[in-house]
Amino acid sequence: MRQGRRYVKLWLLMLTAVIVGTIGSGFYRGISASDEETYKGLKIFADVIELVEKNYVDTVDTEDLIHKAIQGMVSSLDPHSQLLPPEAFEELQIDTRGEFGGIGIVITMQKGVLTVISPIEGTPAYEAGIDAGDIIIKVDGESTKDMMLWEAVKKMRGPKGESVTITIVREGITKPMDYELVRDIIPIESVRSIALKPGYGYIRVTNFQENTADDIRTALDTLGSGEVPLKGVILDLRDNPGGLLNQAVEVSDIFLDKGEIVSIKGRLRRHTKIFSATPDGRKNNFPVVVLINGGSASASEIVAGALQDQKRGMVLGTQSFGKGSVQTVETLRDGYGLKMTIARYYTPSGRSIQAQGIAPDIEVRHRYIDEEEFTDEESLLKEKDLTNHLEAETLETLDDGEPEEGESEIQKEKKDSSKDQNRRRRTQNRYGPLDTEGLKTDNQVMRALSILVSYDIFKGLNS
């Protein structure tokens, strides 16, 4: 038991080191000022671990218990702070890079099963015929039941040239099918663009990673290289969950020559900063319409808020997610990482969008022109719905609407089927190839284009 106690003490020292090392000297001074309370709490923690080790009905893994205790401590702060195991920390780092080795599919956990959202064009999965909606039941013979999403992702990623076998079930096919796929380098393409008509460009940004700003500059150069000069751009940030803060600032700076972009304010002086635009010699004086929806969060909201407050772009769509906090990731020992909220951010006018979101200048609910149903955003979680979410300086109460009554089961099934089809179509459009015909069925894109064209017409009348 002496050895077990030494093990517990070692972990307690590690726990203390994690807390002091990542929060900083201010926290250390706090411990000095209240030693008795702090160490009383640590002693209770040690007592509980020892009692559980000795008396719990089943043998316990002490290391796992302590990891969960740290995770519980951190996650109780807010929904975006967490302890990252080595595998999850590695995946987070990969997601902000420009490429990785894998098979090229976007997946999610849908109703407890691993489901393909969309294959990425030109990748091994795409070439093999993997379809949106396919359910992956095995990876290299191992069942995906009860598998965490990041675990499944890690099993399918790997070095170029190595193979992985996935077993899928597909609607309309009676037996599971095995696909042996050879991994390749998969580019993480965060920016795609296309000309909707001469002089009018469309740029879609799916997330903010290391090369996003450079890719947008390239897209603008390409769109502006035609015979007709660039007269307007639609910047589509719908369903963009965010990403790197520095890329959100840099993307905003592409469209702004001066003024504030965003400010972040934390408890510590080093976590408080104002980011301002700087002129770079590019003549990006064309009008911009920014598209947002309930899936636009964090870095997306920084860009939308900056362009809106600086009167540089018109924001169209529906209320954004409302994540107005900044996280940093600290590297811990043994490959672990600590993701922790360090500041709130504010738009140039001083707005905190935390738990509120960006309100569009023109509210337009989304639907495809060839469909009757609007996209269902009411069921999407927002920041204000998350447990332990941080409060804004002033939090407005938003009306979630009244539930519909009197629907028959047939009507409900028909509506649910239509919503699922709409959701799949949005996701496929997000990750699939861009084409003008597909964008012409999107009512928000077409509304944005008509605004840009109208602006150019009126500008011509006044000149």
pLDDT tens digits, one per residue of 352-401: 989 889 999 999 999 887 666 666 565 555 676 666 677 664 323 323 33
Domain boundary among 144, 159, 187: 187
Please choose, from the candidates 326, 338, 208, the residue with its C-alpha nearest in 3D space to the C-alpha of residue 266.
Answer: 326
Residues 446 and 372 in one domain: yes
Decide if 138 is catalytic.
no
- Residue 87 maps to a domain: no
Residues 199 and 174 in one domain: no
- Residue 86 maps to a domain: no
B/e letters for 189-206, b = 16+ CB within 10 Å, e = fewer, are bbbbbbbbeebbbbbbbb
pLDDT one-digit tens code per residue, 261-320: 999 999 999 999 999 999 887 878 899 999 999 889 899 999 999 999 999 999 999 999
- Residue 154 maps to a domain: yes
Residues 170 and 40 in one domain: no
- What residue numbers bound the domain in which 134 lies? 99-187
Residues 170 and 224 in one domain: no
Residues 419 and 287 in one domain: yes
Task: Please report, for the domain that includes residue 117, its CATH number.
Answer: 2.30.42.10
Decide if 231 is catalytic.
no
Task: Please report, for the domain that includes residue 410, its CATH number.
Answer: 3.90.226.10
Residues 162 and 178 in one domain: yes
- Residue 229 maps to a domain: yes
pLDDT one-digit tens code per residue, 9-22: 433 333 333 333 33
Q: Which residues pair with 288 in a beta bridge?
A: 233, 313
Residues 106 and 50 in one domain: no
Residues 346 and 425 in one domain: yes
Residues 211 and 234 in one domain: yes
Q: At residue 146, does pLDDT exceed 90?
A: no
Domain boundary among 187, 212, 240: 187
| Number of domains making up the chain | 3
User: Which are the contacts of 418, defined by CB distance < 8 A and separation ≥ 6?
Assistant: 371, 373
Q: Which residue reads 């909201």 in tokens?
A: 301
Residues 242 and 334 in one domain: yes
Average pLDDT, the chain: 82
Least confident interval from 11-15, 211-215, 419-423 = 11-15
Least confident interval from 145-149, 335-339, 343-347 = 145-149
Residues 289 and 154 in one domain: no
- Residue 292 maps to a domain: yes
- Residue 88 maps to a domain: no
Catalytic, out of 138, 323, 382, 384: 323
Residues 207 and 305 in one domain: yes
Q: Which amino acid, 31? A: I
Catalytic, out of 134, 215, 236, 309: 309
Catalytic, out of 81, 190, 193, 298: 298
Answer whether 290's CB lies under 8 Å from 300's CB: no
Q: Which two tokens stand for residue 282?
A: 């590019």
Decide if 253 is catalytic.
no
Q: At residue 216, does pLDDT exceed 70?
A: yes
Vertex 117 angle, CA 316 and 84, to 5°: 90
Domain boundary among 138, 161, 187: 187
pLDDT value at residue 200: 97
